[in-house]
Structure 1
């Protein structure tokens, strides 16, 4: 996959750079073989090639800082036993260790930043900070299937297809639009698998025709697999994902009008709509103090503004609508849409809430 990096973002990252995790004889086995996959560079301080690779490898570490993949290194010139254990005969040698595995696989691709990122995403489905994936859907092979699809923290939709299948070809542009729709939802992966080329592997998933879409739901105690039996349309597939993963997307990638709404808070506004507005505010503040959802505080803020001015909801809604027209960054658009959705709750209840009883 190709990636587009935002220059300003990367210039900041170059200042606030995450250090590569340094492993030793004592710490190696505590990290490698754990819950997260690890890319390990075996190096020697005197090695010229290692020195040339260092800034690229540090940039890679920064881009994956806080993600569920670790970027590490071992000074194999000092830690001879680790070097011997993994058959290190030259520097730098880079090995990939899948989660729960201490069997390193040799990385033998190009040592560019984009190649490292491509390698990691193909094996984990994890995208780095500050990168926007291309329009192409991630293609899996048997060696990468389990690591991506069976990731307990990901809901993964898989298109089992055959290259010669006419229906598969018709689905391809639709599937790519679905993929783009969910790019900002980190727990969602939209991938495909050539079930004609890898027939024996596909048999495990009872693939009897093409295309076959299956949704692998996240979960630490084993994956629940749901078959998609609806029409092969963008809106229908998106609705299927929304209904089963808790997302709220619409074709094009925006959020729908229910995104961000919190049932408990909506219920308070409904049940207490004829109460004193300050009583309602106290109830909302109490809920917000116990909620892990940051938008609970937005409910509180809106009601505080309504108490100050009965026109606040209408004016703020119009302001956000105008703002949304010129905003293209997905995270910001999502935030604006959620605030609009919450304001809608108040719009329908603004009169009783804004009247002192």
Structure 2
């Protein structure tokens, strides 16, 4: 979510100082304008016509002009539009401050929201926010769910992306192939799928039997073969997902939600330098490999995202390690009094797997006095106040820095005062969500 055209602008400014700089700047400005023109501006009058006609796939950005993340992403979006100019792909944008009804129709709840429109339907964009991410993702939209491979293209195909799945089945009637096609349809936005029914073609990439499914990676071991006997949709889906990310991946805004949506525990390793990343990565890689498919391990740049440590109940002291369960948000911080060593982390992870660790719950002290109309809730008194079955409870989860929360405060206090005489039946409460976990 952080992109800047500053390097490009500096280059243009430098060129302007030279004798030929004026012409260079003019050409550069024309190139930028041309690229910007390739991002279609949509409104209610031309939206349907644009997304349904002309291009096989359209990526639409729903944004607000005041949105910081939208501004940061804008030059990357424009650059992607320029790179995709010769493909059958269109990039477009909708200003939701001017087209509120249109944005509401498409379920826009935050900015930027990115959606892909294809002949087969509409889906959420789930890629990164760099130009290269937009380009790679949208080019995948032009591919069939499964590309049928021939002898002269299978080797090139397997190296065409960071993760490529190649299957070999006896025929299209194979039950396993039918399940494979379902998986490809489900995961096509993030992964490239191919197949062959010719054993001679399969042998070109060292696939020697049918049925078989192989994930080719541009990281870790380079390839992983499906080892189960039953080619079910669930088994194949898990296999592809588990082998589509590195053992130790870099976590950032572009892939955070994919990890959360996986439902698997996420093990964070906070680092501050490439040297630290390599040293600790070498120590943790065997642990990540041992628990592959059970826990996802990631690096996180403490220089950029150090504040996230507090949400894991870690102090901002590096390096640091913690496990978080994305579904219930339970957190298990590794003691910051200990060195991060392979054996210590392996023991910690094994204890977590076996259910021997208690989740860490952050709580402010319970107030000595809680006589105000708006009751103060912290993690340690949450159950006693909020879960009281004899009372109806309205609770506000707020952040002290939140402008909307500050505006709500006097109104909320008036509501609490109105019901103050019904304290045995109704409770109006608040909880600082930045300083307390929900038990």
Structure 1 and Structure 2 fold alike (TM over 0.5): no
Taking structure 1 as the reference length, what is the TM-score of the superposition? 0.37
Of Structure 1 and Structure 2, the greater helix share is in 1
Relative contact order higher in (CA < 8 Å, ≥ 6 apart) = 1
Taking structure 2 as the reference length, what is the TM-score of the superposition? 0.30
Larger gyration radius, structure 1 or structure 2: 2
